[in-house]
Structure formats: C-alpha cells, structure tokens
Amino acid sequence: MTVIVTGGAGFIGGNFVYHMLEKYPKYKIVCVDALTYAGNMETLDGAMKNPQFEFVKADIADRDAVYALFEKCKPDYVVNFAAESHVDRSITNPDIFLRTNVIGTGVLMDACRKYGIKRFHQVSTDEVYGDLPLDKPELFFTEETPLHTSSPYSASKAGADLLVNAYNRTYKLPVTISRCSNNYGPYHFPEKLIPLMIANALNDKPLPVYGKGENVRDWLYVKDHCEAIDLILHNGKDGEVYNIGGHNERTNLEVVKTILRELGKPESLITYVTDRPGHDMRYAIDPTKINRELGWLPATRFDDGIKLTIKWYLDNRKWWENILAGEYQNYYEKMYGSGN
C-alpha cells in the first residue's frame, strides 16, 4: 500500500506520519508538503531515516506537480491534512485559505480521478458546523448538523467538504470526511492556544486570552485523532462523514489556568486582550457514529493529555524555540503588539 499524506510536516499530519509508519511497517508513506510557515522538517526528523518514508516538497494546488507525483507513486490512499489552519490568519488574509483549502482539495481529487484511488480522505473540522451557545450544554454537533460557518477558515473548509461530497456523487470518487474537534499534543505550532500558552508561560511572558476566556473548545489528544483517521481510512464507509471528539470540553480560561498550575507559574501572567472577530463560542462533538460503526473511543483524558503535552514541550524546547526565533516573531508582534 502507498499512502500520500499531504501536510505531513504540520502538526496533525506529522503525528499521522509517525502513527502510520509504526503501525503499518510495510506501507509506503509519501508526505507531500509545501513547507509554508506551519510546515517544519524538524517535525519529520525521525521519519526521514525510515526507508518506507518519502518527503516531496509540493503545493497541493499546483496541478502539474500533483499529477507528476501521482504518476510516479500511484497511491492507494490519499489523506489530505494540507491546509491553512489558523482562524486568526484567515481573518487578515483569506485568499490563501481559498487557494489551499478549496482549490488544493479539488486538484488532489482530480489527480485521484485521473490515476485511480482506493480512498481519498479529507481531514475536516468541527468548525464547519459553526458554534453552539454556552447556555445549552445538552447540544452537540452531529454529522447531520447543518454547515454554518463563521470565519474565512471554516468557510474554506466547508467549501472543501462540499466539493468532496460532489466528487463522490458526480464522479463516484471513493471518499470519506472526518470532522474533528480541537487537537493538542506534540509538534503543535505555537500560534495555537495550548502551545502558545505553554511557550509564553515558560518564558514568563503574558498569556493573551481573547475576550473573557469563556469560549469552550472540545480538546482531543492528537494521537487519538490519528487512530480515528486510520480506522476511517481502512473501515469507513464510502461517502460518509465521521465526527471525531472525546467530550473533553473546557473553557479557554480553564485550559490556561491548568497550564499555569502544571508549570508552577502565577495566574497574574494572564492578560485579557481584544476578542477575535466573529469568535465561535462553543464547539462540542457527538462522536456516537464513529464509536458505534468503527468502535473508536479516545484513549486520552484531557487531564492526562495536557500533562503529556507539557512534558513534550519541556523535553523538546529546541523544536519550538527555533520557531519562536524565526519569522514567527513578526507575526506575534502584529497580532499581539510588542508589549506582550
């Protein structure tokens, strides 16, 4: 089996590469990544030594490059993680989100049609369902919840999902889609809440909490997400959507305070900053379908996963300090101001 993993130099794609190499030692794993600001070859250091692994630098929206790659490696499966993934960046620069997330997904599926494929799996997000109110904790996103997006990021992901469904219906392309809640764990780029707060706390810098910090996210340890995608890829039904989440809801403030407590840092580091425009209030996944049909359940509770994650950032300072030392500094100053 040959599996193309797009976006494998990023956070979840990188974890998925390691999951697949370990679990399926006979599979050939080909990572395709454009190495944008979020892609990091250091994430793949451990994989580069594996003869079953190949890295190809390419943009998924570049049709010639994608076709040439498919021609050469004739994949059985394609798992599409490649995306512009940060909501805040989509608010300042939506264009690239449309190009990569929508056009790029279309180009990959055209290549799948042209060269033949067992399955194209689209890694989507719970953000395509919009948000839930804070005062109705009994509500959850199911696979039937209508798409109702808030940010250019989530709109681009929803656009890609619709395109995937269209290719399945019109061209009979074998596809599956997964919609997962917020991930956390090793190799998470430090612009996102959890790694940003860990890095700032370790550097005794202010922790910028948007608004009142009352927004709720449903946190899933990244390795549980990888296991779920693996199950869907091999056993999921053609044309189906699967929600992935583990009932680990926390307010942002709870998450930030947990990190400070674990690191022995004072809550006085918390700084309330201007809210994100259009900020979604609450995400919460109902994972009944993937549990019932594929037997998936998350293995990691948030209280354990956050400890593992903090330990990883303590043990791998070089990985994230290299990022903080580079171009990311300019982004941080523009986003949060030089005082933070």
What is the binding site for ligand NAD (CB under 6 A)? 6-7, 9-13, 33-36, 38-39, 59-61, 81-85, 100, 104, 123, 125, 157, 180, 182-183, 189
Residue nearest to ligand NAD (CB): 10
208 contact, one of ligand DAU, ligand NAD, none, CB 5-8 Å limit per kind: ligand DAU
Residue closer to ligand DAU by CB (options 67, 210) is 210
Residue closer to ligand NAD by CB (options 120, 269) is 120
Residue closer to ligand NAD by CB (options 123, 270) is 123
161 contact, one of ligand DAU, ligand NAD, none, CB 5-8 Å limit per kind: none
153 is catalytic: yes
Q: How far apart are the first and last CA of the chain?
A: 48
Residue 127 C-beta: closest distance to ligand DAU, Å = 5
Q: Which of 18, 77, 129, 153 is catalytic?
A: 153
Residue 128 C-beta: closest distance to ligand DAU, Å = 9
178 contact, one of ligand NAD, ligand DAU, none, CB 5-8 Å limit per kind: none
282 contact, one of ligand NAD, ligand DAU, none, CB 5-8 Å limit per kind: none
Q: 340 near 226, Cβ under 8 Å?
A: no
126 is catalytic: yes
Residue closer to ligand DAU by CB (options 1, 162) is 162
150 contact, one of ligand NAD, ligand DAU, none, CB 5-8 Å limit per kind: none
Residue 278 C-beta: closest distance to ligand NAD, Å = 17
Residue 105 C-beta: closest distance to ligand DAU, Å = 14
Q: 90 near 97, Cβ under 8 Å?
A: yes
Amino acid at 305: G
Closest CA to 316 of 187, 224, 183: 187
Residue 261 C-beta: closest distance to ligand DAU, Å = 17
Residue closer to ligand DAU by CB (options 119, 192) is 192
Q: Which residues are catalytic?
A: 126-127, 153
